[in-house]
Chain A
């Protein structure tokens, strides 16, 4: 052999040392670990979207532990555990499962009672396409611009679904940006809502919504699926699962399935989705100038979406009869951050009139926003996919 025991031990220890995170670490790894810890701080201490930011934040830590390539642990190495879990993101089947849960959780009553609120949900999608134009102006290619712009839908699963098809290399940054701004909706939206409304408009009291029959609630997901998916079949995975989940909830004979879809299944998928999206943000992919651009565009998209919703309601009021006017404070809820943006409408309404409860009215555009952003995603995929 010709190798002494000490040389043998030293050789093995040297090999082991070269495999450790300390040996392979670069400053980028530490920056990303800092980002992950900041997300955990926001989630645990500040209570910002903890259900999403805890898995994402911890995923960032997992994805940025330094190691030497070929150890079969990395998320991008084929066949590893993380890689198998990541398939749900890269192949795009986690987002439709989340949509199944959202459908099973969502009560569309407010929207069915007042269908014109669907148009508010449609108007807020201008955030997506406004951001698309800004992204093009900043030099992004059309498919990348489309993937980034979808952040304006304020819908994490949709953003992941679209970016996995249009710009897979930007998906990590897009997902983190989308979820970060969703967590910051209570900070971003109120100043815009105040800016674009007068005090008189904020005091508008809307008529209570009519009662909705069970039959209407059952018909809604069926008709909704047929109409929207005939227009944009590319949105079928998202809208199909959304309306399917809602039918499970409303039909009254599949309570057990609806409960599973809205609780256990959603929780499992959220954990895996959040963790793997976080783990996919490896320093080499994430710490780029493009990421800064994506965060800027995401912010722009949220501003445009929230503003266009509010401004559309003001415009809509010009043609509505006096007794059917809408309070523009529900316009921000056209983005699909359910139910947070509806809660913001309600809180702001109560701030100006303690008897003006806008929550149920705002839920209309809010759930319409979910349908609208999925439809907009389908349109982007059809044009640019």
Chain B
């Protein structure tokens, strides 16, 4: 009983650890604009600073009850409200929060404004776990953003971020920081491996290696298995083989020989196994009624 209880406890811990691991760990701040004079407008047609959050996981993420704040001593400054269907961010997608200090305007309008030099935090529902944070450069110019170089990458390191002025480096609210218009893998194979030779070599090497490793592994497993079974066989016969070679030398049985011996014994003794002496009687339930009979409405499926 105690053992079962222990196993259940371990399983429960494993499940809860897995659930935690799959929580909001992939939620991160992706791009921030502090002073917005002439860039994008909110749903009221007004210019405000904004914070873009990014779901870097490959599954949809519900972010209600996470907290946004610019003061680590007040983690619950703006709780993302419950009950809004738009707070589920699809896989690898974004959501934009307007930093206008007017939360009564809707879910995506937060209760504080942001300034250059501040640090923005995203806290998990426990108000203790920091999911992500970024310190905005103190000299960030108006209408420029501080954005991750690659969406969702780089963790909390400031090196993963860059200033974007809207020139060569686009400002991308609610969109990927890196805009990809082709499948880069396919393009690289198209340009560098036009005849497919390199892919063929690499792919065949991988397939061969995978199956070769499996092959070697099963040679090893069969070797170990046969040695163990030989030792067991010898012990059951009362012989104590000292080495593997001894054990192998004692084993001369082949499947064919055993089959021949069994056939000969069968012929000689006219032996049957036990099955013929067992009689089983099962109760047969007959629930027939012409009303449920299919023979009046259907014919048998033709067989060829």
B204, B207, B229: which contacts A213 (Cβ < 8 A)? B229
Task: From B22-30, B156-164, B189-197, give the one contacting chain A.
Answer: B189-197
User: Does B262 sit within 8 A of A, measured CB to CB?
Assistant: no
A133 with B197, Cβ < 8 A, contacts A219-B221, A220-B218, A376-B203 known: yes
Q: Which of A125, A136, A232, A384 has the most CB of B within 10 A?
A: A136
User: Does A244 sit within 8 A of B, measured CB to CB?
Assistant: no
User: Does A354 sit within 8 A of B, measured CB to CB?
Assistant: no
Are the C-beta atoms of A379 and B207 separated by less than 8 Å? yes
User: Does A283 sit within 8 A of B, measured CB to CB?
Assistant: no
Contact residue range for chain B? 35 or more
Are the C-beta atoms of B185 and A130 separated by less than 8 Å? no
B195, B206, B215: which contacts A119 (Cβ < 8 A)? B215
User: Does A156 sit within 8 A of B, measured CB to CB?
Assistant: no
Closest to A211 in B: B255
Closest to A220 in B: B218
A interface vs B, CB < 8 Å? 112-113, 115-116, 118-119, 121-123, 125-126, 128-130, 132-133, 135-137, 141-143, 145, 208, 210-213, 215-216, 219-220, 223-224, 227-228, 231-232, 368, 371-372, 375-376, 379-380, 383-385
A123, A143, A223: which contacts B214 (Cβ < 8 A)? A223
Counted as pairs of residues, one from A and one from B, with CB atoms less than 8 Å apart, the total is 119
Are the C-beta atoms of B190 and A129 separated by less than 8 Å? no
User: Does B222 sit within 8 A of A, measured CB to CB?
Assistant: yes
- B196 surroundings in chain A (CB, below 8 A): 129, 132-133, 135-136, 142, 145
- A219 surroundings in chain B (CB, below 8 A): 221
Are the C-beta atoms of B218 and A133 separated by less than 8 Å? no
Closest to B216 in A: A115
- The complex places the Cα of A334 from the Cα of B26 at a distance, in Å, of 43
Q: Which of B186, B208, B214 has the most CB of A within 10 A?
A: B214
- The complex places the Cα of A212 from the Cα of B255 at a distance, in Å, of 11
- B207 surroundings in chain A (CB, below 8 A): 122, 125, 372, 375-376, 379
- A224 surroundings in chain B (CB, below 8 A): 214
A227 with B195, Cβ < 8 A, contacts A118-B215, A129-B200 known: no
Are the C-beta atoms of A142 and B190 separated by less than 8 Å? yes
Are the C-beta atoms of A126 and B204 separated by less than 8 Å? yes
B185, B208, B212: which contacts A385 (Cβ < 8 A)? B185
- A132 surroundings in chain B (CB, below 8 A): 196, 199-200
